[in-house]
Amino acid sequence: MFARRLICLWIGAFGLAAGAFCQTYVGINLGGSTFPISINGAGVIAGYYLRIGVPQAFVRDTAGTITEFSVPGSTGFTEPSSINAAGAITGDSSFGGSGGFVRDPAGHFISFVADKGLTYPQSINAGGAVTGYYAARPSGLINHGFLRADNGAITSFDPPGSTSTTALSINDVGAITGHYQSADGSVHGFVRYPTGHITSFDPPGSTGTYPAGINYSGAITGYYTRADGRQHGFVRDAAGEITLFDGVPTSINNLGAIVGAGFLRSPDGTITSLMAPACGPPTLNIPSVATSINDAGVIAGYCGGRPLIVNGWVRYP
């Protein structure tokens, strides 16, 4: 692990503001490629690292102490996808194929599957509700969205006209976003409201819409593809108004700050480059992939370092 340090990269050479390159990073590396995936409001991080190519789970507390864990009965991988405000973690693990789990802050586990299918939880909110998707058996080729309430009750859902549904993020009031494929093969974004009503949406000119996250107010970020094959970011507010920008977003916090591949977008639209030390010198121009941002502006992510190794990091504002 490289020590915390203030990185002020070669500002003059790029003609950028100092804020773009003066960033405080702490490295996270567990001996193999390391992927911090989700950070909660307290700064606790859940993620995984590769041990002989197999994902192994970890949680990193605010003091930097790392605890590895695996789901009891797992026959191989344990891969976290989200951590909530209380420190409960969800993800999937290998038992009987792929099944979901919730790990509470004390380290106790609940394993579950949706409709006897291969189950991939993606997000857990402050109330303990989990969303994700599952692959229906026997084919395992068609996905459906699911909502698992804190009491364990599971509801399956699909947007109207969906032939395959991927639910990805749930906010603290129970609104869910993700994408679905229609019969003609096109991909659209959707938001499922706590009432169960589902609305689909696409940015103008989209040939494929891929939401990534939804915040408390219902703002959604993600990316869309255009006819020329390029990808662009978007943010859709609770009223449905869509703002477009360059970048591929991965996460949005409750204040409206967005992170993604190599960038931080402030709520006012200002974009700052992210270049972690693990990426090598700035002349290599290798972006950091930010995976999650909390309301304090602390960011978790990863970046390619030495050959065949991915280094994890956390960035403090």
pLDDT in tens, the chain (317 residues): 333 333 333 222 233 333 444 578 999 989 889 999 999 999 999 999 998 888 999 999 999 999 999 999 888 899 999 999 999 999 999 865 678 999 999 999 999 999 888 999 999 999 999 999 999 766 667 899 999 999 999 999 999 999 999 999 999 999 999 999 999 999 999 999 999 999 999 999 999 999 999 999 999 999 999 999 999 999 999 999 999 999 999 999 999 999 999 999 999 999 998 877 767 655 555 668 999 999 999 999 998 766 668 889 999 99
Kindly write down the DSSP assignment for every residue of 217-283, as one continuous string: T--EEEEEE-TTS-EEEEEE-TTS-EEEESS-EEEE-TT--EEEBTEEE-TTS-EEE---GGG--GG
14, containing H or E segment: helix 11-14
Q: Running DSSP on this structure, what letter comes out for residue 107?
A: S
pLDDT at position 231 is 96
pLDDT at position 97 is 62
pLDDT at position 15 is 31
pLDDT at position 51 is 86
